Amino acid sequence: MEATTQPNTATANILLIYSSTDGHTKKISLQLKKVIEQDRHKVKILAIEEVATIDISDFDKVVIGASVRYGKHSSLIFDFIESNRESLEARPNAFFSVNVVARKPEKKDPESNPYLQKFLKRLSWEPKHLEVIAGKIDYPSYRFIDRVMIQMIMWMTKGPTEGNAVIEYTDWAQVEKFGNKISAM
């Protein structure tokens, strides 16, 4: 009788926490969830504002993602990580940063992305897996002051400044690869 190979049915319970300023990091997080669930893992996805009572020990893996606005990740993400550092370190984990500077090839890697490096220097936690994902410019959706500030930053960094520009720099194949990496960790 020929032996048959059974598919891997082991599943992990994964917590995916995100901080999104304009909704794009949430969109990336939802795509990661979709990719990870294709490998039969269970994914609980929460915005950082929803995690006050979450117990990390209920999860096998933890993934945290945060967008950058005006050169900084959310202080809520920082506080959550620092408050839960030991629990994070006790299990497979990953952190991803979503920012527009990652549109530049020389700033899209964790080692070369200035916003991620600045954030990591503030932390006592060292994520086991890091990813930098290019974000999105959506001038029409920004409040007036944000649009003007972001246009100024883009002008200084030789990016798009047209007030009606909507440009998504996200590499969705990269997001899928990162989702597969999370599944495998």
Give the CATH number, domain containing residue 54.
3.40.50.360
Residue located via tokens 């997080």: 29
Q: Does 72 share its domain with 152?
A: no
Domain around 65: 13-135+170-184
What is the rounded distance in angstroms from the CA atom of residue 93 to the CA atom of residue 63?
5
Task: Please indicate, yes or no, if residue 123 is contained in any of the structural domains.
Answer: yes
Whether residues 32 and 59 fall in one domain: yes
Asked whether residue 148 falls in the same domain as residue 178, the answer is no
User: Tokens 């969109």 map to which residue?
Assistant: 27
pLDDT of amino acid 8: 46
The string of pLDDT tens digits covering residues 18-46 is 999 999 999 999 999 999 999 999 999 99
DSSP state of 7: P
State the pLDDT at residue 71.
87
Angstrom distances, CA of residue 118 to CA of 68, 72, 115? 11, 8, 5
Q: Record the pTM.
A: 0.90
68 and 131 housed in the same domain: yes
Domain match, 162 and 124 both: no
- Residue 9: the pLDDT is 52
Q: What pLDDT, on a 0 to 100 scale, did the predictor assign at position 10?
A: 66
Residues 36 and 124 both lie in one domain: yes
Domains: count for the chain: 2
Report the pLDDT value the prediction gives residue 6, as an integer from 0 to 100: 40
Per the prediction, the chain carries an average pLDDT of 92
Both 92 and 159 in one domain: the answer is: no
